[in-house]
Amino acid sequence: MRTLRWGEFAHIAVRDKAAVKPGETLLVLADTWTDMDIAEACLSAGINAGASTQLLVIPRMAPTDTTEFNASVSGAIRGADVILAICPTMFIEKAATAQARANGTRIASTDIIGMEDFAIEGTCDVDHGLMVDIAKRIGEIWIKTELCRVTSDLGTDISFDMRGRPIEIGDGIAAEPGTSNFFPGVSVANAPIENTINGVIVVDGNIPPGRLVSAPVTVHVESGVISGIEGGSDANQLRAHFVASGDPIATHLCHFTLGLNPMARKSGSIHQDEHVLGAITFGFGDQDADFGGNVPDCGVHCDLVMMTGKIDCDGQIVCENNRLNEELGLGGLQ
């Protein structure tokens, strides 16, 4: 059944997520871990949309690999009007990608491995408009919030100021020049004011390199930077991840995100886990310029996912135990 729906998925990815127009140059970017049936479905969808479409397969790169692309790959990325990426390689941080975006290339990306059902259902079987509308309502609250406090039954207790920072809605659509968006969406995010971020995050969901923890990991944050990591073997591996990055900025908190897709389920796929309705993600390292934050440049990025928690914004409960507050006009997704 899943195989029969990849054509539908590819059609929506090209038409709605990448917003491809006839005559544009479309690069379908895959890597050596990508299912080629899906890559070829996207290639066919691009051709059918009237775009000049190329499928490029690159070697898979680890999340901590800061090696730049070679000249041929860099040239293909810089030369595209639109990139539809369906690979686990974290190419957004690469120099060629930054140059392409600066020149107006737009990017719609996903990583289907480990979330095949969600890729289809979260793209094809959801009320996308409602998710975006609710994300906008949450953003209106966040941009005015002086004290956002995030807590959980496991011991999370972290707070920060959100006032004035841009709200980023991960709607999965890359329609404007230079934009980069992940699909399936939807999520809402911002970059808290760095020196106000203090407390403890207890991760019960996903950690690098993209897997579920076997036991909760406690992360201490002071003025927006990780100051300590406690726990068992998962904590040891998380510390090793930051050491392997070779960049001290990798431990700087760069975004705060709330998942809003009711079709997402806890899975071990980072991209699905962070989109679970009510899941809370703290990102570290590379910070997209659209967040308007002050985290210095960094060549790597990772996400730590709490599968549940409570978000209190100046005394208003926005979300608790994976349920949005309907009294704030956030109903309809549960």
214-236 pLDDT tens trace:
999 999 999 999 999 999 999 99
Who's near 263: CB < 8 A, 6+ residues apart? 118, 121, 122, 125, 126, 184
DSSP 165-195: PPPEEE-S---STT-EEESS--EEEE---GG
Based on the fold, state whether residues 139 and 90 are members of the same structural domain. no
User: How many domains are contained in the chain?
Assistant: 2
Encode 187-208: b = buried (16+ Cβ within 10 Å), e = exposed: bbbbbbbbebbebbbbbbbbbb
Q: 143: buried, middle or exposed (CB in 10 Å: 19+, 13-18, 0-12)? A: middle
The whole-angstrom separation of Cα 145 and Cα 139 is 10
What is the mean pLDDT, run by run of 10 residues, along the chain of 334 residues? 84 97 98 95 98 97 88 97 94 93 97 92 94 97 98 98 95 94 95 98 94 97 98 96 93 98 94 96 93 92 97 98 96 87
Are residues 201 and 246 both part of a single domain? yes
Same domain, 165 and 102: no
Co-location of 313 and 193 in the same domain: yes
The C-alpha angle with vertex 130 and arms to 330 and 326, in degrees rounded to 5, equals 15
Please give the Cα distance from 260 to 145 (Å, whole number).
20
Q: Are residues 91 and 142 in the same domain?
A: no
Domain final position from 82, 113, 144 = 113
Whether residues 143 and 55 share a domain: the answer is no
- Report which secondary-structure segment, H or E, holds 53: strand 52-58
- Residues 99 and 173 occupy one common structural domain: no
Last residue of a domain, one of 67, 83, 113: 113
SS3 of 273, please? Answer: helix
SS (H, E, C) 66-122: CCCCCHHHHHHHHHCCEEEEECCCCCCCCHHHHHHHHCCCEEEEECCCCCHHHHHHH
Residues 217, 309, single domain; the answer is yes
Q: Is residue 120 part of a domain?
A: no
- Does a structural domain hold residue 122? no
Q: Which residues contact 65 (CB under 8 A, 6 or more apart)?
A: none
- Residue 185, domain extent: 127-328
118 found inside a domain:
no
121 lies in a domain? no
Angle in degrees, CA 39, 42, 44, rounded to 5: 110
Spatial separation of the C-alpha atoms in residues 315 and 149, rounded to whole Å: 9
Identify whether residues 144 and 215 lie together within a single domain: yes
Do 198 and 321 fall within a single domain? yes
Instruction: Specify whether 205 is located in the same domain as 263.
Output: yes
What pLDDT digit, counting tens, does each position of 8-42 carry?
Answer: 999 999 999 999 999 999 999 999 999 999 999 99
- pLDDT at position 209 is 86
pTM of the complete model: 0.86
Q: Is 233 within 8 Å of 307 (Cβ atoms)?
A: no
80 domain residue, yes or no: yes
Q: Is 172 within a domain?
A: yes
The backbone torsions φ and ψ at residue 43, rounded to the nearest 5 degrees and listed phi first, read -60, -45
Assigned domain for 288 exists:
yes
**If we measure between CA atoms, which residue out of 162, 143, 159, 142 comes closest to residue 151?**
159
Mean residue pLDDT across the chain: 95
Task: Specify if 108 maps to a domain.
Answer: yes
For the domain that residue 87 is a member of, what is the CATH number? Answer: 3.40.1830.10
**pLDDT at residue number 2:** 67
Residue 271 sits in the same domain as residue 191: yes
